[in-house]
Amino acid sequence: MTNENDTDTSSGELSCAQIHELLAQQVNDKIEEFEAFALEQEQIELPVEHLFVNGMYARKILIPKGTVLTGAVHKWGYVDIMLSGDISVATPEGVKRMTGWQILEGKAGRKRMGYAHEDTHWITVHRTDATTSDGIESILTVQNMAQFEALPLTEREVILKEETQLCQLPSQQ
């Protein structure tokens, strides 16, 4: 039996959680490299609509067609809702193109990047005690993975859930 921090000592294989974390870190690193370049380019403003209800915060943006964007690193898990549009998003599993509407789990400790093929309406929903948008970004996010890793464990969510099975190639299943 293994957990996300161990390998199976009898086979030396990585757990699914370890593999996912390694892939996620590679994606985060590549996005941060691109972001450093992109920040030197002309920027556009993406207006944000804020809504606070019963300990929840919803954040809505319109990503215009042709926009490449990166996001901050979230300290805690949240809900991603794509209302409409067409966008490609970098994930640890590879680039995923999404159209129409989608509801996804937003993971803590992940950097995101996307390209809007069409105007795309996107909402994130977060648990928070905040009641105004003043400083909400610094409450919920940090700008990069180094800042996330530097957070005390009490201030960030454990990213990986315990997994006891090993990942298998399709031919092994």
pLDDT value, residue 38: 80
Query: What tens-digit pLDDT sequence spans the chain (173 residues)?
Result: 334 344 443 456 777 666 666 666 777 788 888 888 887 888 889 999 999 999 999 999 999 999 999 989 999 999 999 999 999 998 767 789 999 999 999 988 888 899 999 999 999 999 999 999 999 999 999 998 889 889 887 776 554 443 334 455 454 44
Task: Provide the whole-model pTM.
Answer: 0.73
In a domain, 2, yes or no: no
Domain total in the chain: 1
**At 64, which CATH number?**
2.60.120.10
Range of the domain at 128: 7-169
In a domain, 104, yes or no: yes
pLDDT value, residue 20: 61
In a domain, 1, yes or no: no
What are the beta bridge partners of residue 53?
56
Q: Based on DSSP, count helices (H) and strands (E) in the chain, helices before strands.
A: 3, 11
In a domain, 89, yes or no: yes
In a domain, 16, yes or no: yes
Question: Could you give the C-alpha distances from 24 to 27, 60, 64, 107, 160, in angstroms and in order?
Answer: 5, 25, 26, 10, 11
In a domain, 32, yes or no: yes
In a domain, 20, yes or no: yes
The dihedral over CA atoms of 66, 39, 50, 131, expressed in degrees to the nearest 10, equals 160
User: Can you tell me which residue has the tokens 């691109």?
Assistant: 34
Could you tell me which of 163, 169, 173 has the C-alpha nearest to residue 7? 163
User: Can you tell me which residue has the tokens 């129409």?
Assistant: 100
Rounded to a whole number, what is the largest CA-CA distance in the chain?
A: 53
DSSP element (H, E) containing 52: strand 48-53
What are the beta bridge partners of residue 148?
none
Burial of 74 (0-12, 13-18, 19+ CB in 10 A): buried
pLDDT value, residue 8: 44
pLDDT value, residue 163: 34
pLDDT value, residue 164: 36
Q: At 125, which amino acid appears?
A: V
